[in-house]
Amino acid sequence: MYSIRTDLALEAREMYKQNAQQESEVPGVEVVTEGSKDISVTRVKITSLDGVEAMGKPMGNYITIEVPRLRENDPDLHEEVCKVFAKELFNIVKIDKKATVLVVGLGNWNVTPDALGPKVVSSLMVTRHLLEYIPEQVDEGVRPVCAIAPGVLGLTGIETGEIIRGIVDRVKPDLVIAIDALASRRMDRISTTIQIADTGINPGSGVGNKRMGLTIQTLGVPVIAIGVPTVVDAATMANDTIDLMIDSMLKQVEQGSAFYEMLKNMDKNEKFTLIQEILSPYIGNLMVTPKEVDTIIEDVSKVIANGINIALHEGIGLEDVNRYVH
């Protein structure tokens, strides 16, 4: 099977079913979808080694929130997405109300499509120090939350996983939440999709640059990963464009002709490999992002930050967040 880069479990499932040409569910995978055309939620649960092999992802829960109009400047929609996201995150956070949470904003704040994590951290309710030094001024239901944006290996010279492991050893949080930019295989899912997973994360995976994983195995505490796709592989875009062109030509070419049979029987593996080989000398491993990515990252990061805020702090609503965020 040719390798199309995606970090979304939902897309891994779609591609498996497409390549296997089957309508039945992927073996070892359970899927539930609910919601509306504005906000839909798909819960993918990988329950067996068969599912792990088919999906190429660890066993666990993957929640995907799709909001086709999320890029639009619609405050009411953004607030509704915050609440849906907060509800899904709350249901997956299985720790005591007073347990400490460390939020990690992965990515490079100097590169806009990769700045999601640091942007989210800048809008979080960071409360651990308040509960330690001025607890009488903190509302009931606020838990200790600390946060860091550790940068990337190219900026620090230190593996991100090593930085986080050192902080975890010192602070001893009960849970780590890691936010990172992801890669999608479809442009319409760029910055319109949020994924929550309880399996941890590999920093840099969105651009094919995997580092030390942030998982319960490497850190010793549960890790929830939150990601938003901000880039798509150029070779994938070219491949999809050619597929659409072939589909269009098949409708116009006489069935049974030699040209028709050639188009119909074109090997997808060979086609995708050929595209990569042609593009590589000119553009290398190019990732593509929308031109308005600055505004998109700004808006989406606030949606995620506010969702995390109201999910972690019971009794705190969106109207209370500004009192804790500076």
Cα–Cα distance for residue pair 273/257, rounded to 1 Å: 26
Per CATH, the number for 9-235+286-316 is 3.40.50.1450
pTM: 0.84
- DSSP for 238-298? HHHHHHHHHHHHHHHSPTTSHHHHHHHT--HHHHHHHHHHHHHHHH-S-EE--TTHHHHHH
- pLDDT tens column, 153-178: 888 889 999 999 999 999 999 999 99
* List of residues 6+ apart from 202 with CB closer than 8 A: 210, 211, 212, 213, 214
Residue-wise pLDDT tens digits, 177-220: 999 999 988 888 989 999 999 999 977 554 455 667 899 999 99
Contact 282, 182 (CB under 8 A): no
- Give the bridge partners for 232, in sequence order: 184, 288
Spatial contact of 108 and 154, defined as CB atoms under 8 Å apart: yes
Q: Please report which confidence band the pLDDT of residue 1 belongs to, taking 50, 70 and 90 as the band edges.
A: very low
Burial class (CB in 10 A: 0-12, 13-18, 19+), 258: exposed
Please say if the pLDDT value at position 223 is more than 70: yes
- pLDDT confidence bin for 282, thresholds 50/70/90: low
Confidence at 272, pLDDT banded by 50, 70, 90: low
Beta carbons within 8 Å of 110's beta carbon, 6+ residues apart: 155
Average confidence score pLDDT of the chain: 86
Cα separation, 158 vs 153, in Å, equals 5
Residue 254: burial class (beta carbons within 10 Å; 0-12, 13-18, 19+): exposed
The predicted pLDDT at position 2 comes to: 43
The identity of residue 252, as a single letter, is Q
Strands 101-105 and 145-148: parallel
* C-alpha torsion angle, residues 2, 279, 110, 229 (rounded to 10): -30
Vertex 22 angle, CA 18 and 26, to 5°:
85
Two tokens, residue 22: 């089957």
Say yes or no to pLDDT of 290 above 90: no
- Residue 62 contacts residue 200 (beta carbons within 8 Å): no
The closest of 125, 11, 126, 22 to 64, measured between CA atoms, is 11
The C-alpha atoms of residue 177 and residue 219 are separated, in whole angstroms, by 12
> What pLDDT, in 10s, does the model give residues 297-319?
999 999 999 999 999 998 777 77
- Per-residue pLDDT at 326: 58
Q: What whole-number percentage of the chain has pLDDT above 70?
A: 88
Q: How far apart are CA 98 and CA 95, in angstroms?
A: 8
* Both tokens assigned to 207: 């651009």
Domain locations in the chain as residue ranges: 9-235+286-316
